[in-house]
Every structure is written in structure tokens, then in C-alpha cells.
Amino acid sequence: MKSQPTLTRREFLRTTGMAAAGLTASSLAAGTASAASPRDRVLVVIQLSGGNDGLNTVVPFRDAAYYSARPVIAVQPRHVLTLGASDGQNRLGFHPSLRPLMSLWESGQMAVINGVGCPNADRSHFRALETWHTAMEAGSAEGCGWIGRCFDGNPPALGVSVGAEDPQALKGRGMAGIHLQEKTAAFQTESDAGDVAQAALEKSRVLLQRAGPSGATYPNTRFAAGLKRIAALIDGGLGARVYHHDITGFDTHANQPATHGRLWAEVSEGLRAFFADLEARGLAERVVAMSFSEFGRRVAENSSYGTDHGAASPMFIWGKPVHGGLYGEPPDLADLDCGDLKFTTDFRSVYATVLDGWLGANHLAVLGREYSKLRFVA
């Protein structure tokens, strides 16, 4: 991998418009202003690490083939959260652990993109994640991620990771993303991130100290804590265009029902608090969140009451600016690819929609070719 050029601390502070120890009134005001242009907008990317089982998340509860393939682990119809008028055929529903998100769904602030994947999908976690992070075939992106390439064309845009991962998606040719971790009430940063990361570290500390109280009560989980920090940093005016967060554990080879339900409860409860917090801070119009997982799971359950690495899986988009509803065609359980769901929406079409419609970028320049776009945000 090629080394990433870094800005000096002085350059970083100049491009972000303030010294770490002395925030200006104008910068604080910018953090709370409603979105007037794409440059004010924020994208929060949530990585469901391990391979989320899409069939038990967006459940085809009218399909006998689903229950035949999963006699033990299928979500029973009586537990499914039905989708109302948005699902005209009344054939899909949510796992019950998504109940905290139903208010977003019912108010049109949640979009589900069905059957997301890509050609020649890889079952390796590492290679699949590389494909999703770079939006290119594994090994072909020279270490640069899709968000990093977007920022290369729009300096001085900044991407920040608050999760366990230091995501390749944020790495560009001009600057690497900033990786902040919480430890003993302070932030740490990877040693190779250079002066830029250290300056962001200092600035983040000041912003979090000056941030007002949270506008919501967050669950006591690592995932929710990361979302709480993101809300505070947006409110404080850090200036990051993209935040990246992750939650691990979705590699459910055994005893899936309990694990999968617990993970989605953690995601749903954390996101409910996050969006309530944004609303209370007057930031809801500026923020869209998007989830992805490196792959889905096989259709059939295995002998350990879990599922193995598969292919297509849904993506989710949340936020007040989102045009909610169902997008894309759900995979057909009667038309499988060697036991896997066939993808019906290329994940880069979702990226293209976010790049053009939300971040105000040019997806052709970032992704290297043109992709059809959806209508969940504009």
C-alpha cells in the first residue's frame, strides 16, 4: 500500500478554520446551522461487521420457501413487524428487534434497499470489506477508499472514524481519515495518522468539553457511545463531512437467533437515541446515516442453528432528509445462485445516490463509471 501524504498540524488547523484550543463564534454557529448546501451535510456510515443476515432482518414472512430453508431460526410471522402501506404486497417485515426504529419508518425517515450486492462477490471478510470500502474489485484501488477519493476532489473535507475499525473507506491520496477511539475518557489515535490526527484529537477534546448536554438518553453500549460522540462533534462544529462507526458480531455461524436479535436491538436503540439527539440539537436536517455489511448469509440454516457466508443483503438509510420506503427488488428465494441470494441492486448505485444526492459530489469521478441512482435522497 502506498504511504498516505499528511497535512501538517498548522495546515489542518488553517483548513478547518480554527485553532484547537480556541474555537471561534462563527465556527460554533456553523455547527448548528441548518443545511443550506451539500457542504453542510453529514453522512454517518455504519458498518455491520461480520455479514448481516438480511433474510432475518427484512423478513419475507409470506414466503413458504423461507420457512422451509430455516425450520429453526426463521422469524415467525407473529413476531414480524409489518411495514404498512409502504409494502403494497404485504410480503416483507422487520425483525422484532427493529421496533425502536419503527417511528422513523412510519414517518418516512427510513429507506430499505433490497438485495444489495455486487458481481463476483467474495466470501472472505477481508476481501469483501475491501470491495465495499473501495467500491472497486479487491486489490485494484491502491489503498484508497470511496470516501477518501471523494474528499481528494473536495478539500479540505474530513472523515472521522469513532469505532473499532480504522476504515479503508476514508483513506485518500491527499489525506488519510481520522481514527478516534475512546479510552479512559480521552481519545487515542493511530500513530501513523500524523499531525492531522493529533490536531483533530485536540480539537475534538475541546468540542466535546464545550458541547451542551445530550438531547436524548443513550443506551449504555459501545455502539451508542460512538453515536453520542458523533452528535456532539457535529454540534460542536468539527467540520467532518463523514463519520464512520461499526458494530461487530454479525458473523452468526452458530446460535444465530439470540445473537442477531441482541445486535439489532443494540443498533436500533442506539440509532433511536441518536436521531432524537439530533432533533433536539436542531441538526436533524443535516444528517443521513447509512448501514452496510460485507455480505449477507446463505439462505439455508446450518446444523449449528446459524447461517454461513452468503451474498446479497439489505442496506438501510435513515434521516429526516430521506425519502423513506422500500427500494430495489427483494431477492427471489425460488431463483438462487448455488444456495445464495442473487443481488438485485449494485451497492455502488447506493453510493452513487449518496455521493450525488447528499454530498454534492460527482459519483462518476469517484467510482470510475456511471451507476444508476435510486431516489431515497436528493
Per-residue pLDDT of 264-316, as tens digits, reads 999 999 999 999 999 999 999 999 999 999 999 999 999 999 999 999 999 99
Of 274, 219, 261, the closest CA to residue 46 belongs to 274
Q: E strands along the chain, which residues? A: 42-48, 58-59, 81-82, 93-94, 110-117, 159-161, 178-183, 186-189, 242-247, 287-292, 313-318, 325-327, 345-346
Q: Which three cell numbers stand for residue 254?
A: 452458530
52 Cβ neighbours under 8 A, 6+ residues apart: 250, 293, 296, 297, 313
DSSP H or E stretch at residue 281? helix 256-281
pLDDT of residue 124: 93
Residues 349, 351: Cα–Cα separation, whole Å: 5
Structural domains in the chain, CATH included, are 39-367 (3.40.720)
Tell me the pLDDT band of 138, cut-offs 50, 70 and 90.
Answer: low
The maximal CA–CA distance of the chain, rounded, in angstroms, is 62
Of 328, 352, 324, the closest CA to residue 341 belongs to 328
Per-residue pLDDT tens digits for 152-185 = 877 667 899 999 888 999 998 877 778 877 553 3
Asked if residue 238 lies in contact with residue 204, where contact means CB atoms within 8 angstroms, the answer is: yes
pTM: 0.88
pLDDT averaged over the chain?
86
Per-residue pLDDT tens digits for 215-258 = 899 999 999 999 999 999 999 888 899 999 999 999 999 999 99
